Each structure stands twice: as C-alpha cells, then as structure tokens.
Structure 1
Amino acid sequence: MVLSSRIFNTHVIVSFFLLISCSMTYGTESDIACLKSVHESLKDPNNYLENWKFDNIEEGFICQFTGVECLHPNENRVSNLKLSNMGLKGEFPQGIRNCTSLTGLDFSLNSLSKTISDDISILVNFVLTLDPSSNDFPGSIPVSLSNCTYLNSLKLDQNQLAGQIPPEFASLTRLKTFSVSNYLLSGPVPNFKPSLIPEESFANNSALCGRPLKACTTSSKTNTAVIAGAAVGGVTLAALVVAVGSCLIYAPCFTQEKGKDPEGNS
C-alpha cells in the first residue's frame, strides 16, 4: 500500500514537471515566433531593431532585444513591447498574437499605416496597456477593442481615424486612461464610469458630445418648430383643397351675369 502510494505520488510529480516543461517550451517558441513576425512586418529605416537576431538558442536571448521586456530575464516570455518613437513603418503586426504573455504594447510616435484590423482584440486580448497613438492609422476605431476587457489604458490619439467612438467601449470597466484627441470624431461619448475619463481625452473633436463634454441634444426647439410648421401646413393644404373643390362644384354660379337667371330673364 505504501509502495503504491509512493509510485502514485512520483507519477503526479513527474507529470507536473512535464506539464510545466511543455508549457515553457511552447511559450518560448511562440514568443520567438511573435518577435520574428513583428520584425519581418515592420520597416526599420533607423536600425533601432538591428540587435533582433534570431540565431541564438539560449533561454532568454530575446529579452536582450531593444524594446523587449520579459516576465523573467532568463525566459523567452515577452511581457511588454515598447517600440515608441523609432520611425517604424508598416502595418499593425498580425503576428503579435503569438506573444502569449503580452500585457503591454506601445507603438506610439511611429509611421504605421493601413487600417487597424477588426480582429485586433484577438491579437492583443489580454493586454493591460495599448498605445498605437501618433501614427497614420486610417479608418474607424475597431469595435472589437471592447472585447479587451483587461485594458487599463488605451491611447488612440493623433491618427487618421474618423467616425464614432464605439458605444461598446462603455463595457471597458477597468479603463482609467483613454485618449482620442485630435481626430474628426463625432457622435456621443460612450457612457464611461463617471470622473475616470477627463475632458482632455477628447480634445479637438468638436462634433463629439456627452459627458464629460457638452450634452448631446436633438434640438427640441427645432423639432417643435418643425412639427408645428408641418401641422399648419397640413391645415392650410386641406383648406386649399376644400376651396378649390367648392369652386369646381359651383363654377356655373360664377359664370352667370349679375341680375339674370340661367334662361336670360330679368
């Protein structure tokens, strides 16, 4: 009985360490593939990423790359990618999805372009901070970002985005920093938690409305005037129709000469 118990415990311990080993291997391979994809998809005219060399096989070698932070310096698990103000060109890297431990991504102050993918929430599902600000991304703000429920900070300002802020963003209850300044955005601001997102976050978007900006109105006075005008117009038109109809019915009366009957008698 004791022997069986020891064999069982040994089996459990071995299985546990095998599971951890497999997980670490997968995480290592996945994160290396992530950075390879990012490196291949971006143009680096200023050679900031020149030390991104993938011919090393030592554990933790990618943690020495410029802009890369790891969960532990001796593990190939990327926790943060800080590639701000490097003059990078290209589009939002699809391979970023392979950085399975990523919690922070900063592409700000570069020249990235092309529309941000609608499936961006799949690419960065667990990030806490996302900053693609000050680039050249066109199009609209992806609604799918509302699925990134762990977001604490989202900075989208100073791109070429237009349209509305998706109302679904109100579901980002952990969001404490949000910025969409210097756009051509319009419509109501999502119903964020009161006092968390200040007015400055929406600066230079004159067509935006709603808390903390000016209240959204449908111009009730204008609507009342339109309704009243329509009612008056309807009554006037009805009266005109009745008058014209009466004239047509009694037209012979107006063709008789004054003082004579239809047979010409005095």
Structure 2
Amino acid sequence: MKLTHGSSTGCSAFPCNTTQDGRGPTFVGVTCSSSRVVSLVLSNKGLTGTISPNLSLCRNLGILDLSQNSLTGTLPSTLGMLSYLMTLNVSHNQISGPIPAEIANCSYLHELDLEQNRFSGELPAALATLQKLQTFDVSHNNLEGPIPTGLSNTSDGRPRFNASSFEGNPGLYGFPLPYAKGHNLSILAIVGIGLGSGFLSLIVSFTAVCIWLRVTEQRLAAEEGKISQLVPEYD
C-alpha cells in the first residue's frame, strides 16, 4: 500500500462514502462524522511513499496516526493547517528533513510522536507554545542544537518532558538530557578560560602596582634630594 501525493478533492465525500447497507465508510482506518473525516488511523499497514500535503484538506481531522510504516520524504508543513488536530503520530518510519515549525499552529495538539525517524535540524522553539501537549517524543532521530526551554520546563520551573522524549539524537543537548562529554569539555574550557583570564588580570594588576610603587619611590627620593640641598650644613 502506498500513501503518495493524491488528488486535491478533499476529505469530505469520497472517503466517507457508506456501503449499500449504510454501515459506514468502506476504507479501513477512516472514521467519519457528518461526512467529514475526523480520524485516520493507518498504523502498521505497510504504507510506503510520502505523506501527501493534501491531507491538510481534511480540515476536521482530529487524529492522524501513520506510525510503524515505511514512509519516506518530509513531514508536510501544510499539516499545520489542521486546526482541530489532537494526535499526530508518524513514529517508526523513515521520514527525514526538518520538523515543520507550522505544527505549532495545531493549538489543540495533545500528542506529537515523531520518534524513530530521520528528522534533522533543530527543534522548532514554536513547539513550546503548544499548551495542551501532553505526549511529546522526538527520540532517535538526527536532531541537533539546544532543546527549547519551553519543552524542557514549565512556566513555574517544573520538568515538562523527561529525557526519554529527546534521547537518541547525538547533536541535541540541554536539559533534561545529561551533559555529553563534548559539552562537558566545553564547560571546562569556559571555566579554564575564565580562570586564565583572572590569573592574567592578577598578573597585570600586580605589575602595575609594582611600577607605581617604583615610580613613587623614585619621586620621593628625588624630592628628598632637593630638600637636602636647601637645608644648610652646620659644622
């Protein structure tokens, strides 16, 4: 089975056609309400190909589960147009490219599961604005850069998602992930530079004080010599 770029007819009539006995849609994994697709669950169906950006035409879609297939290509940014989307699960595929920041437009999103793919680039900071997000997993991808603060902590400082949501991305760093060796070295280097700079400043300051004392001593000696010349000698 393939999931590729299809027609732009939308998700209203055709997918929700009922059988002759009126028992519901003829498509496996499709749930409709008022002739509109509200759920598309095709987990572990042997799907190949790419995710069509035309899925954005399913404007009433609340659940999109395409996990555990063999999908490739990128995650369409047009999915950000699904304003009622509550679940987006494309885990365990071969999807690559960046995570679209437009996903943050799905303000009702409760679950975002992108684990076990080939996503790369940085985590969009906009994802931290998803206030209803309860399940979040981007583990085991090729992500890099810092973890946005809003995804690691809540506004009152409590942890939002634990380390298992981010692990398996060698280039990703920041709380709640433990510090990698490379980043530990960076911190040590920063501390070393700070200490070195402080020591250098101390040497410069000490040298300046020594020069000032020497100049002052010479000036005082010169003044004492002038005074001694003015004082008459008595036998």
> TM-score with structure 2 length normalisation?
0.66
Higher percent of residues as helix: 1
| Counterparts of 1:132 and 1:198, CA distance in 2 | 20
CA shift, 1:61, in A, is: 7.2
Which of 44, 49, 73 is equivalent to 1:90? 49
Give the partner amino acid of 1:117. Answer: P
| Aligned partners of 1:126 and 1:148 also within 8 Å | yes
CA shift, 1:96, in A, is: 1.2
CA shift, 1:120, in A, is: 2.8
Matched, 1:133 2:91: yes
Report the RMSD for the aligned CA atoms in angstroms.
Answer: 3.3
Secondary structure of 1:64's aligned partner: coil
Residue in 2 aligned with 1:213? 177
| Counterparts of 2:195 and 2:166, CA distance in 1 | 37
CA shift, 1:129, in A, is: 0.4
Alpha carbons of structure 1 residues 125 and 90: separation in structure 2 relative to 1, 3 Å: farther
Matched, 1:222 2:189: yes
| Counterparts of 2:175 and 2:141, CA distance in 1 | 18
Which of 120, 123, 128 is equivalent to 1:165? 123
| Counterparts of 2:131 and 2:22, CA distance in 1 | 35
Give the partner amino acid of 1:78. Answer: V
| Counterparts of 1:169 and 1:101, CA distance in 2 | 21
Give the partner amino acid of 2:25. Answer: C
| Aligned partners of 1:62 and 1:76 also within 8 Å | no
| Counterparts of 1:61 and 1:98, CA distance in 2 | 24
Give the partner amino acid of 1:211. Answer: F
Alpha carbons of structure 1 residues 98 and 118: separation in structure 2 relative to 1, 3 Å: closer
Which of 185, 189, 198 is equivalent to 2:143? 185
Give the partner amino acid of 2:80. Answer: S
Which of 94, 100, 109 is equivalent to 1:151? 109
| Counterparts of 1:223 and 1:203, CA distance in 2 | 25
| Aligned partners of 1:34 and 1:97 also within 8 Å | no
Secondary structure of 2:11's aligned partner: helix
| Count of equivalent residues | 184
Residue in 1 aligned with 2:30? 68
| Aligned partners of 2:141 and 2:169 also within 8 Å | yes
CA shift, 1:210, in A, is: 2.6
CA shift, 1:208, in A, is: 2.5
| Aligned partners of 1:83 and 1:106 also within 8 Å | yes
| Counterparts of 1:134 and 1:144, CA distance in 2 | 21
Unaligned runs of 5+ in 2: 1-8, 204-235
Give the fraction of aligned pairs with identical amino acids, expressed as a percent: 33
Residue in 2 aligned with 1:99? 58
Alpha carbons of structure 1 residues 97 and 120: separation in structure 2 relative to 1, 3 Å: closer
